[in-house]
């Protein structure tokens, strides 16, 4: 893989503001507790069944709580025709640490 799949929360935030899609692969209970505004909840286990919902013509950013599940999701997405998929490094924890907005 020539292009890194990891991006900082700040870089992801800027891309999302410019029209990229943000997917949250945590569980619904985690999403209900705290979420990034505008994110789409697709729990990691549901990803194969919902692959058709993920565009091939847009950048896609994926996050979880700390970055482990989202890294697996990005590997999966890149394998199945979404080369413009990126992992938000550090997940929502790093997003909050960077002072970026969340909804409760």
What separation in angstroms does the CA of 77 have from each of 35, 62, 71, 93, 99? 21, 10, 10, 22, 28
Catalytic residue among 64, 73, 88, 92: 64
Residue 25 is a catalytic residue: no
- How many Å apart are CA 26 and CA 88, to the nearest integer? 13
Active-site positions read 64
């Amino acid at each position: 893989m020539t292009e890194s799949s990891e991006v900082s929360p700040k870089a992801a935030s800027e891309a999302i503001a410019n029209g990229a899609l943000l997917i949250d692969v945590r569980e619904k209970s985690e999403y209900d507790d705290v979420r990034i505004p505008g994110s789409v909840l697709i729990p990691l286990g549901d990803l194969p069944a919902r692959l058709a919902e993920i565009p091939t013509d847009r950048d896609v950013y994926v996050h979880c709580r700390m970055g482990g599940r989202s890294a697996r999701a990005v590997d999966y997405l890149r394998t199945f025709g979404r080369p413009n998929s990126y992992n938000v490094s550090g997940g929502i924890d790093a997003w909050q640490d960077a002072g970026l907005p969340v909804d409760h």
